[in-house]
Amino acid sequence: MSDRSGLWRRRLGRCRGIVLLAGFGLAACSPFDETPPTATEAGVPQAPQNFAVRPEDVPGLVDNNWVASFGDEKLMSLVDEAMANNLSLKGTAARLQEAEARARRAGADLTPQVDLAGGAGGGGPIQEGASSQFNLGLQASWEVDLWNRLGNAADAAALDAVAARADYRAARQSLAAQVATSWFVLLGNGRQAELDQHNLDTLQHAYNVVDARVDAGVSLPLDRNVAKAEASRAGEQLAQSKGALDDAARSLEVLLGRYPAAEIEGARELTDVPPPTPAGVPSAVLERRPDIVAADRRVAAAFNRTASARAAQLPRLSLTAELGGSSENLKDVLDPANVVWNVLGNLLAPVIDGGRLQSEVEIATAQQEEALSDYAALGLQAFGEVETALANETVLLRREEQLKLALDQFRQAEQVSMARYEAGETNYLDVNQIRQDRIASEKQLLAVQVERLKQRVNLHLVLGGSFEDSEPTQAPEPQQAMVQTGN
């Protein structure tokens, strides 16, 4: 029995030596591996030292947890609710899980596949009686990645998973921005409804004054017609603003995963716009924004797929090995005397395929060019979005300051004109014109104040700032280097 065991061990050692020799002696780096270009090489314009709109800014870090910067506890709770219940975000999370599973599956192609096989059967001449046969063994197969075809494919899948993780982060940031924007719109619409109610009350009071003066014969009937028409128009404006308030509530409820019943209520006052936020430096936008990071990783993945498609045109080496025993008695299946092994190497070289492999190379090359173009366009678009958002901050602040001054003047003029009308020194048409100017200024001011809040949210979004203290766990890094961004 010891001689048989020694022979069995020597045979196994020889099998292992053949596999290791094939794996480490033949495997080599693919001659088709390429390094993805930098951001500037891909076509993204060279980033300046500072943003053009605010060159005087001292470079600083972009705010994290920007939702908290508004100091609105209700907003923070709504964002948390949306992160837990938003259905679109759950779909993005599922796509991330799929990409990570695909990466694990692609990586499994680089490792040997081992299966355990067993069987039992019987047969023989009917008159002599049946005989039984039992077998048990291991079957292993492995494709030696001579030209890094499988490695490039695995790296591409891993890069896709990293891109999907960035897509998930981008979706979370976008959802937080949508919730914040919808919340501020809800607050603005609620404030507008209050202003319209106040204007309706004012115009109804003015109508009563005009009506009494017409009855007393000190004002013309025309004044009463104008006053009544303006009160009716104010009632229509109030109905419109209440409808817009309900619409805003329903939109926010959908984002939160609630039934859109228009039951959510906003605060009575607008949230204050926080102090200016640091914008950092332009080159950091390419590294920080998750949508650009995702596009960057897809460029690298496209290069890997092109290299893999080219390597597929070269010969492939596959190794298979079997180790097992067979016996008429189950207890003797693993007896060394009944155990046999077999190792087989298989070299497969494509000769005629009707142009299929070359077509795969052309498809991968076209996808690589598409990914590069998408990345370059997105990078340039990102710079434009940040510059525009920074400019809007300045413009909207100036507009708000001027509208506040105009509104203050219109309010004083309205009080004086109404007093003069009651004293019989002017007609009601003059009073009404000034009042309508005051109402229009109120609406413009409120709209600009809401827009400032929305633009601040948009600035955080285009800068790539996080809305939370900690980032989600990152996906495993791929084997090969990522695309490097330009300086």
**What's the pLDDT at 8?**
37
pTM: 0.83
**What's the pLDDT at 477?**
42
Quick one: how many helices (H) and strands (E) in the chain? Answer: 10, 4
Distance CA(151)–CA(23), nearest Å, equals: 14
Distance CA(121)–CA(133), nearest Å, equals: 5
**What's the pLDDT at 44?**
84
**What's the pLDDT at 138?**
79
Task: Collect the ranges in the chain with pLDDT lower than 70.
Answer: 1-31, 56-60, 119, 121-131, 324, 326-328, 330-335, 337-338, 340, 469-487
- Over residues 253-266, the pLDDT tens digits come to 999 999 999 999 88
Q: Is 319 strand, coil or helix?
A: strand
**What's the pLDDT at 289?**
93
**What's the pLDDT at 427?**
87
Mention every residue, 6+ apart, whose C-beta is less than 8 A from residue 78.
179, 183, 252, 256
**What's the pLDDT at 346?**
85
Residue 346, beta-bridge partner list: 318
Distance CA(471)–CA(465), nearest Å, equals: 11
Strand 113-123 to strand 131-144: parallel, antiparallel, or no bridges (unpaired)? antiparallel
**What's the pLDDT at 22?**
42
Mention every residue, 6+ apart, whose C-beta is less than 8 A from residue 9.
none
Decide if 99 contacts 158 (C-beta within 8 A). no
**What's the pLDDT at 463?**
93
Long-range residue pairs from 355-360, CB within 8 A, at least 24 positions apart, any chain? 357/309, 357/312, 357/313, 358/313, 360/309, 360/312
Question: Span 31-112+135-314+349-463: which CATH code?
Answer: 1.20.1600.10
Decide if 48 contacts 282 (C-beta within 8 A). yes
**What's the pLDDT at 185?**
96
Degrees to nearest 5, angle at CA 18 with 16 and 23: 95
Locate the domains of the chain by residue range.
Answer: 31-112+135-314+349-463
**What's the pLDDT at 353?**
85
Distance CA(334)–CA(4), nearest Å, equals: 12
**What's the pLDDT at 14?**
44
Instruction: Name the residue among 388, 469, 465 with its Cα closest to residue 174.
Output: 465
- Over residues 324-370, the pLDDT tens digits come to 676 667 666 666 766 767 788 888 888 888 899 999 999 999 999 99
